[in-house]
Amino acid sequence: MAFCPKCKSEFKAGIVECADCNVPLIGALSMDEIIDFTELYACNTILEAEHLKIILKERNIDCNLRLIECSSFPLSAGVTSETRLVVPMNYVATARQIIQECIENHEISDKGLFIE
């Protein structure tokens, strides 16, 4: 089992580089280095998700985006997708506060949903 040192993703044996971060994988991480990430917020659009990601990164919160394909809307013509903001567990409270500020300042719409 190998890990990406940047995003902490796990990879199967044989893969040598993280496709997202373009960095070489390492064999294993010490327990201290393994950070649990959690889905915090489901963004209304990918643009809002990208916007929040930049804002959080500016505050030194290492977050990622996860695109969820969703076809559960019977009335929609095609497949819709939702973008979820993934943040480290220890930054959930801070990130939530920042997102709420963004909503209040109308930097993003209030159509997103908190998951965590």
- Contact residues for Zn ion, defined by CB under 5 A: 4, 6-7, 18, 20-21
- Closest CB to Zn ion among residues 25, 43: 25
Query: What string of H, E and C letters represents the secondary structure of the chain?
Result: CEECCCCCCEECCCCCECCCCCCECECCCCCCCCCCEEEEEEECCHHHHHHHHHHHHHCCCCCEEEEEEECCCCCCCCCEEEEEEEEEHHHHHHHHHHHHHHHHCCCCCCCCEECC
- Closest CB to Zn ion among residues 17, 101: 17
- Cβ 81 to Zn ion shortest distance, Å: 21
- Cβ 51 to Zn ion shortest distance, Å: 22
- Cβ 58 to Zn ion shortest distance, Å: 20
- Closest CB to Zn ion among residues 18, 108: 18
- Closest CB to Zn ion among residues 21, 103: 21
- Cβ 50 to Zn ion shortest distance, Å: 18
